Structure 1
């Protein structure tokens, strides 16, 4: 997969720059070829010699030079690379790219390149949440740039919040996933979030699902070149413009959206779909007239339908199980009953993961009875690991059943 793959790494100024040395070392040992550009500010945090020693390749500085190499390096490098990675990506470099500036070596390369560009932002939380930065990020996403992170944590400035550069493992996995799927054309759907079953125009039954885990899975799939549609219930999370999305309200809405989206190669059913629906009253029920005995009717089981009852069964069907006890045993029962390929289970009694949390900890149970655990980490990183496992299966079993 990674033989002779060429990465142009652009390291911009920021305290997170020192972490990139571990990424360079890891990728080089996996036979990636890396050429690096250091911005002037980045050189205050790491030395050209340290990067050159690890990459075993020439280091470029972010300035135009006149001399022997008048072959127009910005053109040559943009053609040489299979992928461009900017990490850490500061607010300044994101702004320059969004506005199409060409005042230095880095920005001229970006303008001259038609290759995939990934950015791993790193900055103060207030800078990241500033409307100007948000607009710049949205602009470059619309141009098919992909953003890895940032994560939430303690920042170099001492503040806590979103703006920390994504974990090196997440960046590495995202890059490898991209190359793995480059020549495999796959389509996927991801269901996410809660559904609402209305009692009357103002009251409804729902659950605490935020849809965040499903969104990150869809986002990672798209970044890796998998044509993915996110089918999501009512949620407040921000979804970037690069994600193909279908918004739904009820379980029946979600079922119809799933049915219309088939056939696909992969179905990841993370949504916490209501098991029951109620006959909705057309007008608001007054409190004094409210009947506390609600008549419930079962909703269509979407996961069961996708796995069993349609001629377009995906090659890989993944269900999610939110459990309170006997996690593995209950997940195995669900896996067998629904006849899906994998079940991802988490413990919803742990309030630091799962519903309404940025973190998750899950176990992946496959129909061959293998169990793999993803320890507690941010949902974006869980998604990255999961998508990597999905791609790995397709790479090995392109024309075989997946287990």
Structure 2
């Protein structure tokens, strides 16, 4: 049976309705905090638990926090009298499952409806977000990754998992993202922690002229940069974008400063950088440019021509080296050893944070509608798995807000 197309969260005068699903993992103890965080942001929250989740946290706790009865039985004689699973599916503006265990992810990926929570997911048209939580070996298993890919292809949004120590005593990727971050991604317009923060960012490629009709460029489309700008605006930031040539339309409320070359981008950035609290270098700036650019079109007379290249300025490094630099976020597009090269760039340029991805092969990267990131800062890392770029941008914006807040507090 074909699944219903997700519907956008409606803009309504009532409180946003969030249906929280909880599956059976030790991270279920964090779900109580998530209920509180969502309510703080103005949401009405109802909770559905799997049978296994009840072994980790009691329904009474979640009922006291949410103010509504907690459901777990598909064939509850009292609730089913009103087709409760259908009523809840229609009630929700958003559905979030946190924690989402390997078992639940597998059942969702294959369209099973063998309990109340999985039945609700098939019955609802509301956007679905998963916060995976499991042992790192389970997360890395090919079966889990295949299931994640299936769900991502259906536009299911994935938040996390984080890396770190786990309840089993091992260390790796599989920790549930913290409730505050989940709530911030789900309800970005409510209590966004970047209210009034001035963000300067670069977007798209640069073109380095060879002659009036030819240039050196790259495959950057600007999709991720503009998606991130929109996500930051949703969190309250005031965004100024300096953008190279793209075919992507900027979002509403964003009037980019158009440039062509790296030198033009550098000039526009340095003119404005002292007025911002945050700088995000999302553009793919050409590392080199022709030493000279012909004033007229080069004719196709010779069998070969020489082109001498000179290095372009490193805009990101220059901003990070200021006496009082803003919170500085870099991007690294790598074809191999992604994390090694990104960590080296983070440390050499003394960045606040860097977001790295693999390009040149496989899914994601330049020109794609999807991507995955490894985010690094001096004392930590977080992986954002493959997902549509708007969803990835929302998750990255939440992480940027978190790290910016930590730097300000520290």
Q: Is TM > 0.5 for Structure 1 vs Structure 2?
A: yes
Tell me the alpha carbon deviations over residues 350-382 of structure 1, each in whole angstroms, 9 at most, x when there is no partner.
3311111111111112123x2221111111122
Name stretches of at least 5 consecutive residues in structure 2 with no aligned partner: 1-12, 23-30, 45-62, 69-91, 95-124, 128-148, 160-180
Tell me the alpha carbon deviations over residues 108-158 of structure 1, each in whole angstroms, 9 at most, x when there is no partner.
xxxxxxxxxxxxx989xxxxxxxxxxxxxxxxxxxxxxxxxxxxx999xxx
Name the structure 2 match of 1:203.
Answer: 214
Name the structure 2 match of 1:379.
Answer: 389
- Cα 1:302–1:342 change in 2 (3 A) is same
Structure 1 distance, partners of 2:362, 2:254, is 28
Structure 2 distance, partners of 1:23, 1:198, is 54
Name the structure 1 match of 2:404.
Answer: 394
Deviation at 1:53, TM superposition (A): 11
SS in 2 for 1:294: coil
Alignment of 1:191 onto 2:198: no
Name the structure 2 match of 1:292.
Answer: 305
- Cα 1:290–1:259 change in 2 (3 A) is farther
Alignment of 1:9 onto 2:22: no
Structure 2 distance, partners of 1:340, 1:22, is 36
Alignment of 1:230 onto 2:228: no
Matching residue within 289, 293, 315 for 1:277: 289
CA contact (8 A) 1:233 1:249 kept: yes
CA contact (8 A) 2:328 2:352 kept: yes
Structure 2 distance, partners of 1:377, 1:35, is 25
Structure 2 distance, partners of 1:173, 1:192, is 24
CA contact (8 A) 1:276 1:297 kept: yes
Name the structure 1 match of 2:375.
Answer: 364
CA contact (8 A) 1:185 1:226 kept: yes
- Cα 1:54–1:154 change in 2 (3 A) is farther
CA contact (8 A) 2:357 2:373 kept: yes
TM-score, normalising length: structure 1: 0.59
Deviation at 1:290, TM superposition (A): 7.5
Q: Root-mean-square deviation (CA), in Å?
A: 3.7
Structure 1 distance, partners of 2:401, 2:280, is 13
SS in 2 for 1:8: coil
- Cα 1:325–1:228 change in 2 (3 A) is same
- Cα 1:336–1:54 change in 2 (3 A) is closer
CA contact (8 A) 1:177 1:391 kept: no
TM-score, normalising length: structure 2: 0.58
Name the structure 1 match of 2:317.
Answer: 304
CA contact (8 A) 2:158 2:385 kept: no
Name stretches of at least 5 consecutive residues in structure 1 with no aligned partner: 1-6, 12-19, 37-51, 58-85, 89-120, 124-152, 156-160
Tell me the alpha carbon deviations over residues 217-240 of structure 1, each in whole angstroms, 9 at most, x when there is no partner.
111111111111122111111222
Deviation at 1:207, TM superposition (A): 0.5
Structure 2 distance, partners of 1:299, 1:323, is 19
